[in-house]
Structure 1
Amino acid sequence: MNYMSDNYVEETRFGLWFLRSRTWQHYVLRVAINDLRSLFSEALPENPVLLDAGCGQGKSFSLLRDAFAPGRLIGIDADPQSLNQSREEAVRQGMNVELLGSDCARLDLADASVDLVFCHQTFHHLVEQESALAEFYRVLKPGGYLLFAESTEAYIDTWVIRWLFRHPMQVQKSAAQYLDMIRRQGFAFSAQNVSYPYLWWSRAKDFGLLERLGLSKPKPFGEREETLVNVVARKPVEGVQ
């Protein structure tokens, strides 16, 4: 397979199957998109140009349409097979989606051409994270938004995830480290633009099984190592922070 990134980490067969599953669409994608939508401090942009960074098999397309009503939807991925599946998904949904084969660290898009960048469960697959974040910042218009939803090292570096999926382990980060990276790039956000979902599938050791059986209680916020972080971060308008 000729991937469109020199640093691409090939996913497992199980991982590719899971990304087509109802569990992924209903309990992961849908929940994240709804949460991100709730984190906006201002009104949503109207008819935005929306970039789905790491669109995979296109299962996000209809959910993004319903949540953000984009006037133009662009999907990028470094895996040609996933792009083909995204193309088929767009046809099934009756949607016009522009699909680009691209590495997130080198986007073939003009400066200040995008209103929203949706980056969901993509960043922990990227080796050149700083470069990718700089590219997101570059292509966003002033006042545009990065919609960032990620699993943290506390989740990715568990035996079950390492067994079932493939990730570049040397670049995994904590929630605080991801937020710091986004701030250092120049994005602005406050506490009301950030959430730390504590979902059953994101429980680092047992997917919440012991809790559902009543054998343990969930740790409250501040006493647990966060496994998920969502943030809506804005590229400042020139002269306005």
Structure 2
Amino acid sequence: MNYASPTYVEETRIGFRFLATHTWQHHVLRVAIEDLKRLIGEPLPQGGTLLDAGCGQGKSFRLLREAFRPQRLVGLDADPHSLALARAEAGREGIAAELVAGDCARIELPDAGVDIVFCHQTFHHLVEQERALAEFWRVLRPGGWLLFAESTRAYIDTWVIRWFFRHPMHVQKSADEYLAMLRAQGFAFGDANVSLPYLWWSRASDFGLLERWGIRKPPPPGRREETLVNVAARKPEAA
């Protein structure tokens, strides 16, 4: 298959099928968007242009429309098969999404024309992470939001994920390293704009079963290796 990124790492069959499931849409995407809304605070940004960077099969489109009511929704992905499914998803939901085959490290959109970049579980798939983040910065208008939700190296490097999914392992980062990368690019956010979810599906080896059964106590924040990081960051108005 001809991917729109020369560094694209092809997903496994089981991974591709998982991204079409109710579990993915309801327990992963929906939960992340709800958390990002909380991190933004009130009022939520409404209207304008929203770029879904790494939109996959379009399961985010309805959730993003309900949350942010964008006037223009652009879905970018390097995989043409995913985009075909995203187009069908947009049609089912009655959403006029613009779908673009492209690379997050080389986004074919003008400078400062996007109000929100939504990057959910995409960044750990990217080899050229610094270039992609610079592109997010470029296309965002001053005052625009980057909604960043990622799995960390501590999760991606577990045997379960290595067994069922495929990722470029040499670029994986910790939560602190992702936060430092966002700040180095110039994005502004405080403690109130960051969360470190400890969701059942992200817990190493047993998906939190021993904790739910009371056999093992969950590690307290600050003493656990974080598996997820969500950030609502802004490009400063003066940028």
Q: Which residue of 1 aligns with 2:219?
A: 219
Counterpart check, 1:130 vs 2:130: yes
3-state DSSP of counterpart to 1:39:
helix
Name the SS of the counterpart of 2:40 in structure 1. Answer: coil
Match of 1:6 in 2: 6
Gaps of 5+ in 2: none
Which segments of 5 or more consecutive residues in structure 1 lack a partner in the other structure? none
Distance in 2, matches of 1:44 and 1:31, equals 17
* Alpha-carbon distance in structure 2 between the residues aligned to 1:179 and 1:173: 10
Q: How does 1:1-241 map to 2 (within 5 A)?
A: 1-41=1-41, 43-238=43-238
More moved, 5-14 vs 206-215:
206-215
Deviation, 1:209, is 1.1
Amino acid of the residue matched to residue 228 of structure 1? L
Structure 1 position 108, deviation (Å): 0.3
The 3-state SS of whatever aligns with 2:92 is helix
**Cα separation, 2, equivalents of 1:8 and 1:28:** 23
| Identical aligned residues as a percent | 70
- The alpha carbon displacement at 1:46 in A equals 2.6
Displacement of 1:42 in angstroms is: 5.5
Code of the aligned partner of 2:128:
E
Once the two structures are TM-superposed, the CA of residue 41 in structure 1 deviates from its matched residue by: 4.5
With the length of structure 2 as denominator, give the TM-score of the two structures: 0.98
Q: What is the CA–CA distance in structure 2 between the aligned matches of 1:203 and 1:85, rounded to whole Å?
A: 29
Number of residue equivalences:
239
Whichever residue aligns with residue 12 of structure 2, its letter is: T
Distance in 2 (CA, whole Å) between partners of 1:41 and 1:66 is: 16
1:69-99: CA deviation from partner (whole Å, max 9, x where unpaired): 1111000000000000000000000110000
What TM-score do you get using the length of structure 1 for normalisation? 0.97
What secondary structure does 2:25 align onto? helix
Q: 1:163 & 1:205 partners in 2: Cα distance?
A: 12
> CA 1:42–1:212 in structure 2 vs 1: closer, same or farther (change >3 Å)?
closer
User: One-letter code of the match for 1:122?
Assistant: T
Q: CA–CA distance in 1 between the matches of 2:102 and 2:164?
A: 25
More displaced stretch, 36-45 vs 79-88: 36-45
